[in-house]
Amino acid sequence: MSGSVIVILATIAAYLISVLLIGFKFAQVSGDSTSDFYLGGRSLGPFVTAMSAEASDMSSYLLMGLPGLAYLSGLADVGWTVIGLALGTYLNWLLTARRLRRYTELTGAFTLPQFFSKRYHDEKNILSTIAAVVIIIFFIPYTASGFAACGKLFHSLFGIDYTVAMVVSAVVIVAYTAAGGFLAASTTDFIQSIIMTIAIFFVLVYSTIQAGGVQVVLDHARSLPGYFTLDASYVADSHKSAPYGGLTIISTMAWGLGYFGMPHILLRFMAIEDAYKLKVSRRVASVWALVAMLVAVGIGVVGRALSAAGRVSELSGSETETIIVRIADMLSKHGILPAVMAGLILAGILASTMSTSDSQLLAASSSVTNDILHEACHLNLSKKTGILVARISVILIAVLGVFLARDPQSSVFGIVSFAWAGFGAGFGPLVICSLYWKRTTLQGAIAGMISGGATIFIWKYLVKPLGGIWGIYELLPAFLVSLCFIIVVSLCTKETSEAIEEEFDRAKSRKPLN
């Protein structure tokens, strides 16, 4: 084992030990109830709220998926995706955050499924049970994508067995999440967002210099047909361009709709200490998200120039998602300090993965413990037992995620896109209607959630393979189907009670709740 590899591993080990210590620290201060474990007592400050939300959002697709997609096909596909995500981020903070924070405090909800049931006074908890099932169905593969990213990282760089690397990474994530709960996850997410920022900026600058400078990178990008434009895409196999039409653009931008239904992001809105501080959080989060995604895309474009110059081997398929890993490996050959920096870059990839996986594990665990066992099955667990069950459920969900991530050829971007669509269509339209349309009924909510989730599977596996106009991203049609079902069924059923309408008006108001 070379000296540079030892330095890199030591740097990564120091990072992993740090997040474990944070988890164990918050195990002592995270409270003695499941509400504290899952929501941190609504005590997050505006900066931690903003950065932990974005770090948990920008999973492994920030440092692996987006650069890989830019490397593979150019600016069109990844560019319209970034535009959609940037708009979705801003609008979600603007339209959803404050009302959801007030509404969940008013109703005493600390999970998204619980909010749905309390919002519609669903005494049988039908809505929260369905929502919990949706979370489990889509979060397990989402979590698996994070574990897969960790496995790819260590296997491609050190030659460590993919499965071993993936399992060890999962163990670390589970350890600090199960120990410290929401506060540990949010604090580590905040720290990890800083590491991610340092990593992507350094990689962009270093790789651009190694490629020969900005002009060389731009000249090479322009030389590839359809690569450096937003109205065509580059096809590497044939070295030709393919048109990127209006329907495809709308479909790709639909990624932004997913934000309205992401439980691990919405939980941050619910956890801030003061709803009026969300304006600061919105500004910080929106700017950081846009800049981080643009830098990630830039790394992919520069990576293509590095391959053309022979500095990095030519990548294809899912291998393109390891471009940052290849750049870090190249950096580590220049001495001890560059090797330390390479270790920080790789720790940044781990950070992007871990910051999402911990939040997903918590959201899925809360669905099992609170929404299914407590609300649906009416199991009255003591505070101590509730915390124990919560931690056990985190471990069990992680085990399922590890099982699904066992295939090293799985695409991080592909897995994330499917789970993202599931939450966007299953929850997004309902969150918007719950916060902005008083006439929404329980029956409409149930119909919208089921139809949205079901349409994701129907469109992806039955309709999308037909190609042509049917080959659009499944989130867009599923989101519209869910919204239509909510509206139509709500208008066809009895209006909500005065008590529900009074709660709606109080949550909508800017007056203090107390």
CATH code (residue 50): 1.20.1730.10
Question: How far apart, in whole angstroms, are the C-alpha atoms of residue 207 and residue 297?
Answer: 13
Return the amino acid letter for 202.
F
Range with the poorest average pLDDT among 164-178, 270-284, 289-303: 164-178
422 found inside a domain: no
Question: How far apart, in whole angstroms, are the C-alpha atoms of residue 99 and residue 438?
Answer: 13
356 found inside a domain: yes
Range with the poorest average pLDDT among 56-60, 86-90, 140-144, 488-492: 56-60
Which residue from 420, 6, 25, 354 is spatially nearest to 196, judged by alpha carbons? Answer: 354
Query: pLDDT band for position 483 (50/70/90)?
Result: very high
Reply yes or no on whether the pLDDT at 296 is more than 90: yes
Q: Is 113:353 a contact under the CB 8 Å cutoff?
A: no
Which residues, at least 6 apart from 13, have a Cβ–Cβ distance to it below 8 Å? Answer: none
75 found inside a domain: yes
The 3-state secondary structure of 120-160, one letter per residue? CCCCCCHHHHHHHHHHHHHHHHHHHHHHHHHHHHHHHHHCC
510 found inside a domain: no
pLDDT greater at residue 162 or residue 259: 259
365 found inside a domain: yes
Q: What is the count of structural domains for the chain? A: 1
For position 287, what pLDDT does the model report? 93
Q: Is 375:367 a contact under the CB 8 Å cutoff?
A: no
Reply yes or no on whether the pLDDT at 433 is more than 90: yes
For position 491, what pLDDT does the model report? 97
Helices (H), 405-459: 412-436, 442-458
Q: How far is CA 376 from CA 106, 122, 123, in A?
A: 21, 11, 10
pLDDT greater at residue 265 or residue 152: 265
- Structure tokens that stand for 195 in this block: 């590491």
The predicted model scores a pTM of 0.85
454 found inside a domain: no
Query: pLDDT band for position 102 (50/70/90)?
Result: very high
Query: What percent of the chain shows pLDDT beyond 90?
Result: 41
Domain residues for the domain of 273 are: 3-408
For position 213, what pLDDT does the model report? 94
pLDDT greater at residue 482 or residue 192: 482
Q: List pLDDT tens digits, range 123-162.
A: 888 998 899 888 888 877 777 877 887 787 777 767 788 8
Reply yes or no on whether the pLDDT at 449 is more than 80: yes
Query: pLDDT band for position 179 (50/70/90)?
Result: low
Q: How far is CA 149 from CA 208, 270, 341, 506, in A?
A: 24, 29, 20, 44
For position 32, what pLDDT does the model report? 52
Q: Is 189:362 a contact under the CB 8 Å cutoff?
A: no
495 found inside a domain: no
Mean pLDDT of 226-234: 93
Q: Which residue has the tokens 């008083």?
A: 438
CA atoms within 13 A on the CB side of 498: 0
- Structure tokens that stand for 317 in this block: 């398929």
Q: List pLDDT tens digits, range 11-55.
A: 888 877 877 777 667 655 555 555 555 565 676 788 888 887 887
Q: How far is CA 66 from CA 58, 60, 73, 195, 232, in A?
A: 10, 9, 11, 18, 17
Query: pLDDT band for position 173 (50/70/90)?
Result: confident
For position 176, what pLDDT does the model report? 65
Mean pLDDT of 349-361: 69
173 found inside a domain: yes
